[in-house]
Structure 1
Amino acid sequence: MTESLSPPVSGLLLAAGGGRRLGGCPKALLEHRGELFVERAARALREGGCTRVHIVLGATADVVREQATLPDCVLVDNPDWRDGMGSSLRVGLNSLVGTGARAALALLVDQPGIGAPAVARLLAAYRSPATLAAASYDGERGHPVLFGADHWDGIAASATGDQGARAYLREHAAELALVECGDVAAPYDIDTFSDLEGLE
């Protein structure tokens, strides 16, 4: 049984990376069709149904703050962003403690093919703080991922380097609900300039 008609799930956007393979251009500041990646991803979370959105920033966080239009989003700095995505996940989950959020729906800034429809579909999988769910593509686990609050401590303890929650999700595979999103999203990453050109 769901706890309310509007699930207390917060969006968590991981946007701290420095874009090493993009010549040091942070992925948050990449632009497509007049919109920064960080703006696009934040909009996907909001339009998908997340009423609160926390965005973890790292590389050139001050420039992102200056250039991006992110209304009503909570911007969180990760001073250890060079340590990898795991550190950003820890910082982001910690920023949600005490906000009333009972789950976090985590999205990566460098996957512009994932929009509001996939967010909404995953959000519908929320049942309680014990929920653990991930979007899947032809049966393969991908992003976004929904972490019920009961899992946050365990995820934070195991999130190291660029692994994020991967180890935790493997260990808790029996509890993980896969939500097929291949018909509404494409889970490709933008890692190089050729990837970015491929968007067109």
Structure 2
Amino acid sequence: MRDARGIRAVNVLGVVLAAGAGTRFGGPKALARGDDGTPWLHRVVAALFDAGCDRVLVALGAESDAARMLVPAGAESLVVDRWSVGLAATMRAVLAHAVATDADAVLIAPVDVPDLPAAVCRRVVAAGSQDPPAALARAVFGGETGHPAIVGRLHWSAVTAQLSGDRGAGGYLTAHGALAVECADLWDGRDIDAPV
């Protein structure tokens, strides 16, 4: 991540979680598009890049061949072999990939928040910028937990150890007192679980 002068400030790897089958939605959300035809993947990846992430990784699973075609230029894709086991498998694959990078932290957002503003991402990153490898913060909207979340490198092995089934990092964030970053002034925090 770079500051206004282009100087490297915080090295954050943006992550889009888009591996699920989207059972309630009626199909993989990685393939979803807005009313204007723009893939949700493009919109969430753009928010992470616009927030200053130097790199963005898209985790794919269900219908990964078709979904990979929608990953925008400049973003990387990671096909998660065991995505059907649940969110934990996707998070494990993402964090294993992140360990091999020089990122200080990961900024994680699911694909089903296509209206996510870059301003929300920037605020969450700023909350963890004092000590990026130790960062642990997530957006809240009117006190309700939302997305994205930032998780510093010092937490990755512990997060990986507690992952199971269809649970992601949320339990770890709660148990370890992740900083709640209020963002209701910037967005409503709504994710999309059903076709609109």
Change over 3 Å in CA distance of 1:140–1:59 after alignment to 2 = same
Query: What is the identity, as a one-letter code, of the residue corresponding to 2:91?
Result: L
CA contact (8 A) 1:114 1:186 kept: no
Residue type of the alignment partner of 1:142: G
Counterparts of 1:12 and 1:127, CA distance in 2: 21
Match of 1:106 among 105, 108, 133: 108
Please give the TM-score of this superposition, normalised by the length of structure 2.
0.90
What TM-score, normalized by structure 1, do the two folds share? 0.88
Superposed CA deviations along residues 113-160 of structure 1, whole A, max 9, x for unmatched, are: 322111111111222201111111112322100000000011111122
3-state SS of 2:24 partner: helix
Q: 1:6 aligns with which of 6, 9, 15?
A: 9
CA distance in 2, matches of 1:115, 1:34: 18
Partners of 1:107 and 1:192 in 2: how far apart?
Answer: 18
1:90-115 deviation per Cα after TM superposition (whole angstroms, max 9, x unaligned): 11111111210010000010122322
Any residues of structure 2 matched to 1:40-119 within 5 Å, and which? 40-66=43-69, 68-119=70-121
After superposition, the C-alpha distances for 1:29-56 in whole angstroms (9 at most, x for unaligned) are 1110221111111111101111111110
Out of 119, 134, 140, the position equivalent to 1:136 is 140
SS of the residue corresponding to residue 124 of structure 1 reads: helix
* 1:35 to 2:32 alignment: no
The question of whether the paired residues in 2 share the 8 Å contact of 1:28 and 1:38 is answered with: yes
Unaligned runs of 5+ in 2: 1-6
2:162 to 158, 165, 169: 158
Measured after TM superposition, the shift of residue 19 of structure 1 is 1.2
Q: Indicate the RMSD between aligned Cα atoms, in angstroms.
A: 1.4
Deviations 1:51-90 (A, max 9, x none): 1111100001110122x15111111011111111121111
Shift of residue 27, structure 1, vs aligned partner:
0.3
Residues 115 and 185 in structure 1, CA contact (< 8 A), matched pair in contact too: yes
Going from structure 1 to structure 2, the CA distance change for 1:75 and 1:69 (only over 3 Å counts) comes to: closer
Task: Report the number of matched residues.
Answer: 187
- 3-state SS of 1:191 partner: coil
Counterpart secondary structure, 2:62: coil
Secondary structure at 2:189 match in 1? coil
